[in-house]
Amino acid sequence: MKYIDLHVHSNQSDGTLAPRDLVRLASECGLSAFALTDHDNTSGIAEALAASAEYGVEVIPGVEFSTEYLGMDVHIVGLEFKLENPEFQKQVAEYRDERLFRNHKMIDRMAADGIDITWDKMEQSFGQIAWTRAHFGRYLLDHGYVKDISEAFSNYIGEDCKYFVPREKSTPYDAVRLIRRYSGIPILAHPFQYHLSREQLEELIRGLKDAGLIGMEVYYSTYNEEQSAELLTLAKKYDLVPSGGSDFHGSNKPAISLGTGMDNLRIPYSILDGLRARREEAASHAAE
């Protein structure tokens, strides 16, 4: 059986491996395909695609959009969109710019409280990419403010913490519509990560379905069998295709392995077939 991973990050967002190295690792892990889904940018995809033939691994162009919902980050994964379309790339740039604006505000808040952080120091540490909160967590760790990145999220940059700044513009519905507009497959990422009540989660799913959502991550590194079964029931209720991925970040999430997560994932290629088939079905209905 062929296995895949539909949620993977490179060092073009908050992962630690270069896109080419991810392709090599995917080959070593025996994966047939993986989706490169960096946060709010697609800059690593060309490098990964160039290595695809060399290592015999299919690279699926992807992105993970960060959006605002009820004052928190909600993530929408997009797969197989029209990558080279200039208008699509313009929209991606707007998401990246939103992240840059948010990052400036986080730095200002931390600096105002005496934390030794500036934009230049972040660039010296991580380069000129669209930093995520994981980068801020790493900075706080490297500069002695926390003992580990988990503490950074718990005490500094988590959604209930002083230095968390939500995205101010895009909603998850916007992200779904954008992905569909450019022939992509929109997927709600890790639904239980948002700590919504069941009623709130179903309200979100209903709205996303109306906006054009195709899939939902049912299989994820931190989910046990019971949680995946619950999400599978929800996916069936709202006629969504199950998806899954490890959310691999390299050494930034050392407990999570590419393709297998926390040794609880084996995602068959048929999952991707199902997502593609639903996209084609939706496209043909829209054309009628």
> In angstroms, what is the C-alpha Rg of the chain?
18
277 and 210, same structural domain? Answer: yes
117 and 90, same structural domain? Answer: no
Mean pLDDT of the chain: 94
Nearest C-alpha neighbor of 137 from the set 158, 114, 167, 108: 158
Give me the sign of the Cα torsion angle 148, 126, 62, 33.
negative
Is residue 162 included in any domain, yes or no? no
177 and 198, same structural domain? Answer: yes
Given pLDDT bands bounded at 50, 70 and 90, which one contains residue 287? low
Partners of 248 in beta bridges: 8
244 and 268, same structural domain? Answer: yes
8 and 72, same structural domain? Answer: yes
183 and 82, same structural domain? Answer: yes
Percent of the chain residues past pLDDT 90, beyond the cut: 84
279 and 194, same structural domain? Answer: yes
251 and 188, same structural domain? Answer: yes
Is residue 44 included in any domain, yes or no? yes
What is the greatest pairwise CA distance in the chain?
60
Residues 153-179 have a mean pLDDT of 91
Report the CATH number at residue 150: 1.10.150.650
217 and 79, same structural domain? Answer: yes
Domain boundary among 114, 133, 157: 157
Given pLDDT bands bounded at 50, 70 and 90, which one contains residue 166? confident
Look at 201 and 167; give whichever has higher pLDDT: 201
Query: Is the per-residue pLDDT at 243 higher than 70?
Result: yes
- Would you put residue 58 in left (φ > 0), alpha (ψ -120 to 50) or beta? beta
Query: For the chain, how many structural domains are there in total?
Result: 2
Looking only at the bridges linking them, the beta strands covering 33-36 and 58-69 are parallel
Predicted pLDDT at 128 = 81
Q: Which domain holds residue 265?
A: 3-94+167-287
Partners of 187 in beta bridges: 77, 215
Tell me the three-class secondary structure of 17-41, residue by residue.
CCHHHHHHHHHHCCCCEEEECCECC
Report the CATH number at residue 218: 3.20.20.140
What CA dihedral angle connects 5, 11, 12 and 14, to 10 degrees? 80
Q: How many CA atoms lie within 13 A of 111 on its CB side?
A: 12
Predicted pLDDT at 283 = 82
pLDDT in tens, 42-82: 999 999 999 999 999 999 999 999 998 988 889 999 999 99
112 and 198, same structural domain? Answer: no
